[in-house]
Copies of this chain bind each other. A is one copy, B any other.
C-alpha cells in the first residue's frame, strides 16, 4: 500500500529495452522504434529517468584484446559472521578493481566473487596479497571459467504492464 505504485505500459518497457541494448540511440530513432513522435518519447525517457530506473550508461569493452579474458570465481568464508566483519570485508573488496561482482551468499554465509585477471600470476598475487590479507578471511576456494558462454546486462522485462516496487513496501505485479 504505497502512495504511487507507478505502472509502466508497453511503450515504457519498449523504451527501457531499447536503451538496455543501445545507450546511445538518438531520441528520434528511439521514438521510431516505439512508434511515438519525438516529443512524447523524450518526455517518457525523462520520466523514467526521474523514477530512478537508470543506473548508468556504460560502454562495455571487449576483454579479449585487452588481455583480461580470465574469469575466476572465488568463494570466500569469514571466520565469524558478525555484522562488523562482513562490513569490513565488503568495504575492502569494493576497493579492488579486479572484483567485477561480489555477492553475499545464503547457506554457508560465504561471499562469491567474480574477478577478471590478465594471467595466473596476477591471480596468485591477488589472492595472496589482496584477499588473504583482509582481516577475518578464513577460507578461499577459486574455480576458473574455461569459457564465458553468455554475458549480458539487459534485464528480462515483461512485455507489458509492470508495476514498480515502491522503495519501502514491495508490491510487484506482472500482468
Q: Is A135 at the interface (CB under 8 A from chain B)?
A: no
A60-B153, A98-B156, A145-B104 given; A66·B54 CB < 8 A: no
Interface of A is mostly: mixed
Please pick, from B19, B94, B119, the residue contacting A59 in the complex, using a CB distance under 8 A. Answer: B19
B155 near A66: Cβ-Cβ < 8 Å: yes
State how many residues of chain A have any CB contact under 8 Å with chain B: 70
Q: Is A161 at the interface (CB under 8 A from chain B)?
A: no
Q: Is A107 at the interface (CB under 8 A from chain B)?
A: yes
Q: Is A157 at the interface (CB under 8 A from chain B)?
A: yes
Would you list 9 pairs from A and B whose C-beta atoms are within 8 A, ordered by A residue? A22-B56, A53-B65, A54-B61, A66-B164, A68-B156, A90-B150, A98-B156, A106-B146, A118-B174
